[in-house]
């Protein structure tokens, strides 16, 4: 599956490089929703919530009312997870909170394992948390089997390549695939159809952001990968 990404900051759709530097900004979330209509699911991350700088709840609710969404960013309590479901999330993505067993258990009690995805983001070989600002001593491939019973799947971001459009680290994703049978969605540096097809060969989904916002990946070609009946869709990015 190919999962287009909508990242939110200050009420706008943005794309960042390595979670820090804003590379582009789109005023209208509706514009992106229209362009992503052929895809069965989209990923929405509230960057303000992830960095403890507020939230984009009204916009999240609007997006979730129009598309099937997996939503994350700053989900550090059962109350926040429950609120995202109430706003229309199909699944909730939890990152930092997954490292606190009591909090993780409370989130599971609130929304259930099947509605929960765990984000494991790696930079410099180690998992990073708190909006990618804090490094841990853990490696994602070691954590996957330990956390698998607590979620329906994983979002794994190779932060070293995030937003840089230099390709991703397929060897890293091969190691992750070997570590768990749970669904994995890859993110970070996915730039070409070769990247996507290599991930698909590993039975790993691809979350794609910067490459489609900049036109590096042809949205029409991506749509045909998902649904062949969209073969005549015009290029809109």
- Cβ atoms of 115 and 152 within 8 Å: the answer is yes
Q: Got the DSSP string for 202-223? A: TT-EEEE-HHHHTTSS-HHHHH
pTM above 0.85, yes or no: yes
| Non-local CB neighbours of 116 within 8 Å, separated by 6+ positions | 81, 91, 92, 94, 107, 108, 150, 151, 152
Highest mean pLDDT among 27-36, 44-53, 111-120, 155-164: 111-120
The bridge status of strand 205-208 relative to strand 184-187 is parallel
The pLDDT value recorded for residue 229 is 52
Average pLDDT over residues 56-79: 95
Run of H or E residues at 82: helix 78-86
- Cβ atoms of 78 and 110 within 8 Å: the answer is yes
Catalytic residues: 7, 121
The pLDDT value recorded for residue 228 is 57
d(CA 156, CA 27): 27
Band of residue 231 on the pLDDT scale cut at 50, 70, 90: very low
Q: Specify the CATH class of 2-230 in words.
A: alpha beta
Structure tokens at 88: 């229309």
d(CA 79, CA 36): 29
Check whether 224 has a pLDDT greater than 60.
yes
Average pLDDT over residues 43-72: 94
Check whether 236 has a pLDDT greater than 50.
no
The pLDDT value recorded for residue 166 is 78
Average pLDDT over residues 170-195: 96
Check whether 214 has a pLDDT greater than 50.
yes
The DSSP letter of residue 150 is G
3-state helix, strand, coil in the chain (%, to 5): 40, 25, 35
Residue 194 vs residue 16, higher pLDDT: 194
Kindly report the average pLDDT of the chain as a whole number.
Answer: 90
């Amino acid at each position: 599956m190919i999962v287009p990404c909508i990242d939110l900051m200050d009420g706008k759709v943005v794309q960042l490089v390595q979670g820090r530097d804003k590379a582009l900004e789109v005023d209208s979330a509706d514009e992106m929703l229209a362009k992503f209509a052929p895809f069965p699911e989209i990923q929405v991350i509230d960057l303000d919530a992830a960095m403890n700088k507020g939230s984009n709840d009204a916009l999240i609710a609007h997006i979730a009312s129009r598309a099937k969404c997996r939503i994350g960013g700053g989900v550090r309590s059962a109350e926040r997870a429950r609120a995202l479901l109430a706003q229309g999330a199909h699944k909730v993505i939890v990152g930092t909170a997954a490292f606190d067993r009591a909090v993780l258990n409370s989130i599971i009690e609130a929304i259930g394992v099947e509605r929960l995805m765990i984000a494991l983001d790696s930079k410099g070989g180690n998992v990073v948390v708190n909006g990618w600002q804090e490094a841990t001593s853990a490696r994602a491939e070691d954590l996957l089997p330990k956390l698998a019973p607590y979620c329906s799947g994983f979002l794994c971001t190779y932060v070293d390549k995030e937003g840089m459009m230099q390709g991703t680290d397929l060897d890293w994703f091969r190691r992750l695939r070997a570590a768990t049978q749970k669904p994995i969605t890859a993110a970070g540096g996915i730039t070409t159809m070769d990247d996507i097809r290599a991930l698909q060969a590993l039975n790993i989904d691809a979350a794609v952001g910067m490459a489609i916002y900049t036109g590096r990946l042809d949205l029409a070609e991506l749509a045909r990968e998902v649904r062949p009946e969209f073969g005549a869709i015009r290029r809109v990015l």
